[in-house]
Structure 1
Amino acid sequence: MRIIVYGLGAIGGCVAGLLARSGTEVIGIARGAMLDAVRADGLWLKGHDLDEAVPLTVVGHPTEIVFRNGDMILMCMKAQHMAGALEDLRAAGAADQPLFCLQNGVVNEDMALRLFPKVHGVMVWMPATYIDPGRVLCFAAPKFGVFETGLFPGGLDADDERFVDAFDPAGMAGFTHPKVMASKYGKLLMNLENILNAAMGPEAEKGPLPDLMRKEALAVLDAAGIAWEDRAQLVPERRGLAQISDLPGEARSGSSSAQSLLRGAGSIETDYLNGEITRLGRLHGVPTPVNAAMQRVGARMVRGGLRPGDLTLADLMAEVGNTV
């Protein structure tokens, strides 16, 4: 079995490196400085009891791969880059290979299903960091992460079992989940706070904003009839598998949104996290002023080249204004 990891950021980099060092044939698709660094020196992977350069086959575009029957493709880019990545895969000859969406948010699977017949959702719990090209950090122990996989929109097939069979020997805990999108909606509720971390920094006081955003989101999901699972209520045998742990000499850089700003990536995923709540609210007549305000904050930070900690709680509350 060969696994294509499309997008070597924090999650994609950790997953590709762990799979490769466990003996799975892996091809990574990367770009820019990450591509250059991995080609030159391999992928440096650091986690509990792990600090090494992993040799990794890497290409800059899907057209450099001759796709085979039996390949598995893991989509690890941010949602704002998903449409272009799918088009590039189709143009490169990918067709019936199963696609696994290891991304925050809940829009990627639907986007993929327009172009590819075998789409799987994956709920990812992996506290990982990517700031420096060629180097990824995983702050979890004893497992490097927990991954729940299932068919989109529901069910399971043999490819989900193949996914788990590949991940478990690599130090990641894999599980099948026939209602994986309920799990991903639960994760979405957690990810609504990513913009707060990105705006104010990881240690800042968040005030009433988390509760306000979550209240809007719960009302929206209820109005839309969307089932979700509380990630805080993970079954006990999974809850302790990948606990956040320190790495000597390393600091966590905050949420994936914060990391995008720190790298100067030029985009942020807020429109596909808080923006999904806003979209559903507009469809179902539920006001979502706080989540909409956080979308504006994210867009303004990208336009202005701002970094985590450049805004305060007072700034964010002023953006919310008198809407709550």
Structure 2
Amino acid sequence: MAFVIYGAGAIGGLLGARLFDTDADVRLIARGEHLTALREHGLRVESAEGAWTVPVPAAGSPAEAGVGPGDVVVLAMKSQDTAAALAELRTVAGPGTPVVCVQNGVANERMALRLFENVYAVCVMCPAAHVSPGVVQAHAAPVPGILDLGRYPGSVDDTAREISTAFAKAGFVSEPRADIMRWKYRKLIMNLGNAVGALCGPGDGTQPVLDLVRSEGEAVLAAAGSDVVSEEEDLARRAGILRFPPFEGRAPGGGSSVQSLLRGTGTIESDHLNGEIVLLGRLHGVPAPANELVRQLAVVAAREQLQPGSVPASELLAKLSEA
């Protein structure tokens, strides 16, 4: 089984490096300065366990990566880039190509299934950072993350088991799950706070905002009839697995949306996280004003390349009370 990691940032880069270290056939797809650095120097991985560089092959497109029969394509880009990535992938990959969505949100799998018949959903619990071109960090050690997966929309097959085994061999905790989307919906509720962290920065003052967006999320998913694992189930799954020993040079935490603002990418994933709740709320007649406001403000912050913490939590709460 060969892996083409499409989107070699924090999660994709770390996963690709760990798979490569197990002697798996791995190719990365990246862009810009990151691609140049990968080609010239390899991928440097930093963690509390040390730092190492892997000479994993890197390409700028699926065609250049030579996607072909026998390859598993792992989507690891942000959700706002998925549609364009899939359109490019379909020009070289057959409809039976296994596509694995190692992504936040719950919309990527449906987009992939429109074009590819074998789609796999992964619930990602993997704190990592794309620090600079050619450099990624794993913030958890010795286990870098939890990557449970299942065939979308809901089953387990031999391919799912084989991918899960490969992830486990690479050091991740991974189980094949027929009910994987239940777990991804719980992760979505958690990820509704990503934009809040990006807008307000860390601090106790954000808790009322987090409570608002997440309670809206729970209400909307209930109205939509989405099956969601409980907080208790989720906590039990993660208990004692992810640990965060400090190490020199560790990049700031705060989640993927914070990293988008720190790196000045100009885009942010909020349309596919908070925006998913807004969309489902509109479809099922449940207002989600807190998620809508947070979504809109996060998109503006990304577009204007503001730094995390540009909106004080007190100001955001005041805006929410007016919404």
**TM class, shorter-length:** over 0.9
The verdict on how the C-alpha distance between 1:290 and 1:236 changes in structure 2, with shifts beyond 3 A counting, is closer
The verdict on how the C-alpha distance between 1:200 and 1:232 changes in structure 2, with shifts beyond 3 A counting, is farther
Corresponding position: 1:93 with 2:93: yes
TM-score under structure 1 length normalisation: 0.96
Shift of 1:266: 1.2
Match of 1:61 in 2: 61
Match of 2:6 in 1: 6
Q: Equivalent residues in 2 for 1:111-260 (5 A)?
A: 111-203=111-203, 205-230=205-230, 233-234=233-234, 236=236, 238-260=238-260
186-195 vs 131-140, which moves further: 131-140
Q: What amino acid is the match of 1:191?
A: N
Rounded to whole Å, the distance in 1 between the matches of 2:68 and 2:231 is: 36
**What whole-Å deviation, never above 9, does each CA across 1:222-276 have from its counterpart, x for those lacking one?**
1111001135533747522223332233233321001011111110000100000
The verdict on how the C-alpha distance between 1:251 and 1:232 changes in structure 2, with shifts beyond 3 A counting, is farther
1:183, 1:231 within 8 Å by CA — same for their partners in 2? Answer: no
2:261, 2:307 within 8 Å by CA — same for their partners in 1? Answer: yes
Rounded to whole Å, the distance in 2 between the matches of 1:6 and 1:303 is: 24
The verdict on how the C-alpha distance between 1:48 and 1:251 changes in structure 2, with shifts beyond 3 A counting, is same
Rounded to whole Å, the distance in 2 between the matches of 1:227 and 1:307 is: 36
Rounded to whole Å, the distance in 2 between the matches of 1:281 and 1:234 is: 24
Shift of 1:200: 1.6
Q: What amino acid is the match of 2:13?
A: G
The verdict on how the C-alpha distance between 1:221 and 1:255 changes in structure 2, with shifts beyond 3 A counting, is same
**What whole-Å deviation, never above 9, does each CA across 1:280-315 have from its counterpart, x for those lacking one?**
000000010100010111121023221102221123
Corresponding position: 1:305 with 2:305: yes
Segments of structure 1 that go 5 or more residues without pairing to the other structure are none
114-123 vs 311-320, which moves further: 311-320
Match of 2:77 in 1: 77
1:186, 1:228 within 8 Å by CA — same for their partners in 2? Answer: yes
1:3, 1:71 within 8 Å by CA — same for their partners in 2? Answer: yes
Match of 1:16 in 2: 16
Q: What amino acid is the match of 2:163?
A: F
Count of matched residue positions in the alignment of Structure 1 and Structure 2 = 323
1:297, 1:319 within 8 Å by CA — same for their partners in 2? Answer: no
Match of 2:285 in 1: 285
224-233 vs 78-87, which moves further: 224-233
The verdict on how the C-alpha distance between 1:303 and 1:319 changes in structure 2, with shifts beyond 3 A counting, is farther
Rounded to whole Å, the distance in 1 between the matches of 2:247 and 2:127 is: 12
2:199, 2:312 within 8 Å by CA — same for their partners in 1? Answer: yes
29-38 vs 159-168, which moves further: 159-168
Shift of 1:93: 3.1
Rounded to whole Å, the distance in 2 between the matches of 1:224 and 1:236 is: 25
Rounded to whole Å, the distance in 2 between the matches of 1:202 and 1:56 is: 35
- Secondary structure in 1 aligned to 2:296? helix
- Secondary structure in 1 aligned to 2:141? strand
Q: What amino acid is the match of 2:128?
A: A
104-113 vs 206-215, which moves further: 206-215
Segments of structure 2 that go 5 or more residues without pairing to the other structure are none
**What whole-Å deviation, never above 9, does each CA across 1:148-204 have from its counterpart, x for those lacking one?**
100111001111111112111211111111010000000000000001111122346
- Secondary structure in 1 aligned to 2:174? strand
295-304 vs 270-279, which moves further: 295-304
The verdict on how the C-alpha distance between 1:296 and 1:234 changes in structure 2, with shifts beyond 3 A counting, is closer
Rounded to whole Å, the distance in 1 between the matches of 2:22 and 2:154 is: 30
273-282 vs 135-144, which moves further: 135-144
1:67, 1:94 within 8 Å by CA — same for their partners in 2? Answer: no
TM-score under structure 2 length normalisation: 0.96
- Secondary structure in 2 aligned to 1:68? coil
Identity of aligned residues (%): 40
What CA RMSD, in Å, does the superposition of the two structures yield over aligned residues? 1.5
The verdict on how the C-alpha distance between 1:233 and 1:183 changes in structure 2, with shifts beyond 3 A counting, is same
- Secondary structure in 1 aligned to 2:322? coil
- Secondary structure in 2 aligned to 1:175? coil
Rounded to whole Å, the distance in 1 between the matches of 2:65 and 2:55 is: 18
Shift of 1:50: 3.2
- Secondary structure in 2 aligned to 1:140? coil
